[in-house]
Structure 1
């Protein structure tokens, strides 16, 4: 008990072959995943330029918004409940 037998090893080999070997769609997909991981790591290692400080003489930006409608006006008068 607890050891890997021949059927277990064959099953593992078949799974690895399906995922990484041959010319199937799954192997192409795994290759694309590997390329994506490599480009992600490359993107993390690239240094980004430092952001420029804001101009202190420029006026502050504000957001214009409307007050929410009262709860009673938003209710449907035909709906019971």
Structure 2
């Protein structure tokens, strides 16, 4: 039987891919300066600026997990930049 359901182990991979696509080529230092280093503001700005093609590929139930993962990755990348 063929199923179109996404299994639990595939969800993080899909979310990680979407986060990578959204963050691809984004100058985080400039984004941080524009948003006062507010991770929530940075994530909101990125989600608002995401292309319609990517937005159509985000399933409605994935959005909260995607936003959380995006904030987490922004924190990780900005912390790496501060330590270098």
Name the TM-score, length of structure 2 as normaliser: 0.28
The structure, 1 or 2, with the larger RCO (C-alpha pairs under 8 Å, 6+ apart) is 2
TM-score in terms of structure 1 length: 0.29
